[in-house]
Every structure is written in structure tokens, then in C-alpha cells.
Amino acid sequence: MTPATTPGNYSNRHLRWLLALPKLGIILLIAALLSLLWLLHLNEIEEERSALIKDVLWLEQNLRFHLVGVEEQMQQLAVDLGIQQEMQRSFRLRAGHLLKNTPEITQIVWFDAAQRIIDALPGDLPPDHETESFGPSNTNRTFELARKMGKTVYSEPFFVTGRGAVVELAVPIFHDRRFSGMLVAVLPLDSLLGNQVPWWFTEKYQVVITDDNDTLYASKTHIAGQSGQVYQVPLDPPGYGLLLRITSYRSGSNPLQILLTIAIVLLAAGVFWSLWIVRDLMKKRSQAEEALRAEHAFRTAMEDSLTVGMRARDLKGKVIYVNPAFCKMTGFSSEELVGSTPPMPYWIPAQIDEAFAMHQAVLAGQAPVDGFEMTFRRKNDERFEALVYEAKLIDGNGQHTGWMASVLDITERRRTEELARQQQEQLQFTSRLVTMGEMASTLAHELNQPLAAIASYNSGCLNLLERPGCQPQDIRPALEKLGVQAQRAGKIIRRVHAFVRKSEPKRAPCLLAEVIEDCVGFVEAEARKRQIHLDCQIPAVPAVPADRLMLEQVLLNLIRNGMEAMAETPGEHRQLVIRLQRDDSELRISVADQGSGIAPEIRDKLFTAFFTTKPEGMGVGLSICRSIIEFHRGRLWAENNDTSPSGSGTIFLFTLPLEESS
């Protein structure tokens, strides 16, 4: 037996034929069904064409009968005008009745034998008949043809402004067998289709009047879409090569036929799929295993590259997964962490209660959306600050199976923030020292006055004591005045000492009226020196939780900036207004000067650190002020002083929220 006819080869060929026969049978069945559907489609197209021809012939006959009726009525009117005496009145009466009952006629014109207009109804003539002669050249030909033939004649179609394409029906008038005039009826083709084509016809077809050159004269349809079959017949009357063209629109496909086609395709696909199921199953299984290996490798590489710690817990709080980054962060291995339950090995023993309370809140779904901070410990007992975000762990079936946490080590960030805070405090302290340095001469002059007064009162008391018969009541007024001046000097010294001392920010109930009064006490000597009037409008307002020293620094900076801005302002306009107002939920403090204002090009950079317009300025004053106000959850901004008598100036405003004092 040759190798070509071995039992194994024979069985393989036989099996291939057995598998091919069902496929061949399905292919033949599908071909037969598709051929049947195609024949049904052709039969449907033929039926649609037969219906189209019948409808076109019916419409053509209907238009012909109607135009013949119009001709007869116009001929009867012409006969009546040829034999009656009161022709003018008869024309008006009969023509009006004809226009009313025949809406497709828009106008009837009565001409005499010399082609002059005798009367027209309606009275307004189309642009082609504005003269007394008979219209355009083609209308003249119609007039001559109707007079020579002595019977009704249609004109060639022509276009009229405002009416579209029209044809004119000319009917000669004879009196005693002599030609005495002409009646002309104007028939717009659009009106003819609009009145004579029924609505149900336009729901199926598009009706147009055209000619051999495809010039469109009129059309009517109520539908749009892809055009189907077309049939046309001559439109006679009026003739002149006019065609009545009807276009059918393809209706929606038969749903039953579509469903049958889909069912056939699905049946064939199902059969082919069932024949190849075993082979495809093995192939898909191999591909799935390969994809699983690739996915596992990808997930492992992704986990190894993450710097964010990932920890998964089930609904009971047991750790079911940790990634390498979390293990590196805590110092515990995956085997030590997976399967652990509270208390966790990375919790700090002294904070077990706090950590367990947050653990219960997470399991109850009450974890903060913005995350929460906790202190964890590493395996070597080193502490670190962690920022934790919790999210629901959803499996492939959409079921909530636990919680997934993202853990970030923010220890270095906290150190950086603390360093930045300390630098900010140092900068604020330096700014206060610079401010006091700039005010040193003024404060020295202000302090010199009570000291000089004290010395003067002391000398006076000594002189009084040297007089014989001096009584204690004689020196008492001088001693009282001496005490007042000493208190004044002490108050100035305490105020300077409190302003320049370095302290941690501390929010406490603070009366803004007292803060403003202290700041005014600082600068009133400088204000007198600069000839500036300070106007304080301070109503009674409740205390707000704030750091008094910080607010004094902000107000003092804004007040001194306002005074410096009025250096070039005339003396009568040097006024600085400090106003305190209360809104529904906040207090608003404004400092308004009448200086030169702020240029638009520097307004956006006004609160930028190290930006200054002063030759010797540091550029940190307004930046520090804004940071202080934002620390108090308020806002600081600048506006133009539109109410200033000098026509310029700036208003610095800041707000502080009203809240319960802590």
C-alpha cells in the first residue's frame, strides 16, 4: 500500500470532507436564501414602478382636466364680454368669481385689440406688464397667435420676479365676429402644483415641472431623502416641451426582510463557530496563558517601580496584599505583613488607641476623602509620618471586597514645611525690625517729648521745695503731670518692645479696634511730621481669633505704605482713612490713601516676594502681609481709590472671618 493510500491519510481526508460538507451545505443554503431575498427585492422595485406610472398618469389627467376647465371658464368670460353692454362691470364680477374659485390663477388682464390694457384684476400688474402694451416678446407672440387662430393659446413659460415661473392663457374676444380684445390669465406653475397636487401624493413623490433642458419651473414635495425611480410625461397643455417629472423616494427597508437576513447571517455564523470551536478553544487557551504571563510580568514590574506604598485589607481588616514599596517603607517583609490583623506591626504602641479608631473608621467607610496623616514605625523602631488615602477594593464582579490604601512617606515634606515656616517667621521678624529701624528717629523724637517734660516737671518740683513755706499740695499737680508723662513714655517703650519681640504665631480673641489704635499710636508722630491727617472710622465689632502681633504688622505696613505714597500729594489732600466694617460673615479693614496710585503694569506683581518700587525697599512687606492674612483665612487685595478728592490713590483691603474664638 502506497503512502498516499494509508489508512491514516485516508481517515484524515475523510474527516476533512466530513467537516467541509456542512460548511458547503450552509454556504449553498445562504446563497439560496440571499437569491430569494434579491428576487423579492426586484419584485418590490417593479411593483413600485407600476404604482409610480399609475399615479403619474392619474396626476397628468387631473391637471389636464383642470386646465381644460379653466380654458372653458375663460372662453365663457370672453363670450360674455363680446355680447354684453356693461362689459367693465361684467369683467369685474366674473373675473373676481373666477379668481376666487380658481386659486392657481393669480391675475386676469383684459386687453383691447391694440394690445392696451383695459382692466386687470387684481389691479397690480407684474413687472412684465407695467406698460400699456402687452408684456414681453413671448407674450406678444402669444397675443398674435391667439388673434390669428381665433382660439385659446398658452404662452411659453417665463420667469417673473416674485412669482417664479408662469404661463399665460390668452383667450381672444370677438364682437360681431370681429376681434375686439384679449383676456389673459396668469398661471404661476408653483400655484398650479400647490393647488392641484394632493398632500398624499407629495408624501410619496417629488413633483417637478421642467423641460428638455432640465430647467426647473416648479416643484412640490413634503419629503426628502435618497431618490428612487423617475417617470415623466409631457405636460400638454400648456405644451412647449414642458414635462411633468415624478420622482419616487425609497421607502425604509422592510423590517421583516432585514430580520430574516440577520437571522440567516447569525445562523451561518453560529454553524461555522460550532465547527471551529474545538480548534479555537485550544488556540484561545494558549493565548490566554500567554497573556496571563505577560500581565503578571507587567504587574510585577509596575509594583517594583512604584514609590507609593500599597496595602489591601479585606472587609474584616486583615492585610491581604502589600507591595514592595510598602515593605521598604516599613521595613517588614511581605510574609510578615500579609495575614496580619490589628494591632498592626507598624503601629506605634503608644498610639494604639488612635490607630485602632482610624482603622474602625476606614472599615465603616468614614475615612476622610482627602486622606489622613498617621505616624508609623519601621521595623528598626524609627518613626515616620505617613499620608494615607483609602479607597474601596472592587473585584471583577463589582463586589466590595475590602479597602486599598495608598501610603506616602511625608517625613521629608514635613521637615521642609517646618523649615519654610521658620524662615517665614524669621522674615516677618526681620521685616518688623526693619520697620522699627525706619521709624527709629520718629520714635526717638516721640519718646524725647515725655522725657523732656519729666525733666522739666522734676526741676519745677525741686524749685518749689526750695521755697520757704512750700506745702505738699503745691507740688502735687506737677507730680501728677510727671506721672502721666512717665506712663506715656513707658507705653511707647512697651509698644516697641511688644512689636519687635520674636514669638510663635498664636491665635486668641483679638479686638481690632485696639489693634488699630496701637498702630495709629505708632505712626501718629510720623504722620504729624509728614503733615498727614489720620481718619479712623472704627465701630464696635466683636473680637476675632487672631494673632495680635501679626495683625499689627500688617496694618502698620499698609499705613506706612499709604503715607509714603502721599509724599507728592498737596498738603490739603494728605488724608489717610482707616475704616473697619462688618459684613455677614467677616470683618473688612481698609486703608485708603490719596497718593499717586498703582500703575496697571505692576498691579499683578504687587504682592510678589522681592518685588518693590522703592529704591531701598526689600520687596517682602506686602508678600508677608498677604501670607499673614491667608494664615488667618482671609483675603488681601488692592483697589483704585475712585472717591479720592485728588483723583487718584489706592485702597488696600483685607478681611478676617467671624468665627467662634478658640
pLDDT in tens, 129-151: 443 334 455 667 888 888 888 88
Average pLDDT, the chain: 77
- Give 189: exposed, middle or buried? Use CB within 10 Å, 0-12, 13-18, 19+: buried
For the CA atoms of 77, 81, 85, 90, the dihedral, rounded to the nearest 10 degrees, stands at 40
Task: For 474-495, write each residue's pLDDT tens digit.
Answer: 677 767 666 766 765 666 666 5
CA distance linking residue 275 with residue 27, whole number of Å: 14
DSSP 8-state symbol, 383: E
* Phi/psi at 55 (5° precision): -65, -35
CA distance linking residue 30 with residue 36, whole number of Å: 10
- Which tops the pLDDT comparison, 252 or 7? 252
DSSP code per residue over 508-574: EEE-HHHHHHHHHHHHHHHHHHTT-EEEEE------EEE-HHHHHHHHHHHHHHHHHHTTTS-GGG-
pLDDT of 1 > 50? The answer is no
**Nine-digit cell at 450?**
515725655
Residues recorded for the chain: 662
Task: For 429-463, write each residue's pLDDT tens digit.
Answer: 565 555 555 555 545 545 655 665 576 667 677 77
Record: fold of 22-274: Beta-Lactamase (3.30.450)
Biggest CA pair distance of the chain: 165
- Which tops the pLDDT comparison, 174 or 495? 174
**Is-cis flag, bond preceding 136, omega within 30?**
no
- The residues facing 612 across adjacent strands are none
The domain over range 506-662 is classified in CATH as 1.25.40.10: no
pTM: 0.36
- The residues facing 311 across adjacent strands are 322, 405
CA distance linking residue 246 with residue 370, whole number of Å: 71
Lowest mean pLDDT across 7-11, 100-104, 361-365, 493-497: 7-11
CA distance linking residue 509 with residue 239, whole number of Å: 103
- β-pairing verdict for 575-582 and 533-537: parallel
Contact 164, 87 (CB under 8 A): no
Q: What's the pLDDT at 240? A: 83
pLDDT of 615 > 70? The answer is no
Task: For 202-246, write each residue's pLDDT tens digit.
Answer: 888 888 888 888 888 888 887 766 667 888 888 888 888 888 888
Contact 229, 59 (CB under 8 A): no
**Nine-digit cell at 485?**
508723662
Residue 259 pLDDT level (bands cut at 50, 70, 90) = confident
Give the mean model confidence (pLDDT) for residues 398-419. 79
Task: For 110-133, write each residue's pLDDT tens digit.
Answer: 888 888 888 888 875 554 444 333
pLDDT of 466 > 70? The answer is yes
Residue 75 pLDDT level (bands cut at 50, 70, 90) = confident
As a CATH number, domain 306-409 is 3.30.450.20
Do domains 306-409 and 506-662 share one topology? The answer is no
Q: For the range 56-63, what are the long-range contacts, defined as Cβ-Cβ under 8 Å and sequence gap of 24 or more?
A: 56/231, 56/232, 56/233, 56/244, 56/246, 57/233, 59/197, 59/201, 59/207, 59/244, 59/246, 60/233, 60/235, 60/244, 62/196, 63/192, 63/196, 63/235, 63/244
Task: For 57-69, write each residue's pLDDT tens digit.
Answer: 888 888 888 888 8
Please say whether the dihedral angle defined by the alpha carbons of residues 507, 512, 518 and 524, taken in this order, is positive or negative: positive
Contacts with 411 (C-beta within 8 Å, 6 or more apart), sequence order: 384, 385
Task: Give the position of cell 498516499.
Answer: 4
Residue 338 pLDDT level (bands cut at 50, 70, 90) = confident
Residues of the chain with pLDDT > 70, as a percent, come to 74
Q: Give Cα 207 distance to the centre of its chain.
A: 46
pLDDT of 3 > 50? The answer is no
Contact 183, 81 (CB under 8 A): yes
Please say whether the dihedral angle defined by the alpha carbons of residues 597, 601, 607 and 609, taken in this order, is positive or negative: negative
Task: For 348-393, write each residue's pLDDT tens digit.
Answer: 888 888 888 888 888 888 888 778 888 888 888 888 888 888 888 8
Give the mean model confidence (pLDDT) for residues 403-415. 80
Task: For 540-573, write each residue's pLDDT tens digit.
Answer: 888 888 877 778 878 888 888 888 888 888 878 8
Q: 472-500 and 411-438 helices cross at what angle (nearest 10)?
A: 140
CA distance linking residue 497 with residue 641, whole number of Å: 34
> How is the chain split into domains, by residue range?
22-274, 306-409, 434-504, 506-662
Residue 288 pLDDT level (bands cut at 50, 70, 90) = confident
Please say whether the dihedral angle defined by the alpha carbons of residues 161, 163, 164 and 169, taken in this order, is positive or negative: negative
Task: Give the position of cell 446563497.
Answer: 31
Task: Give the position of cell 451561518.
Answer: 268
Task: Give the position of cell 416643484.
Answer: 219
Residue 278 pLDDT level (bands cut at 50, 70, 90) = low
- Which tops the pLDDT comparison, 369 or 167? 167
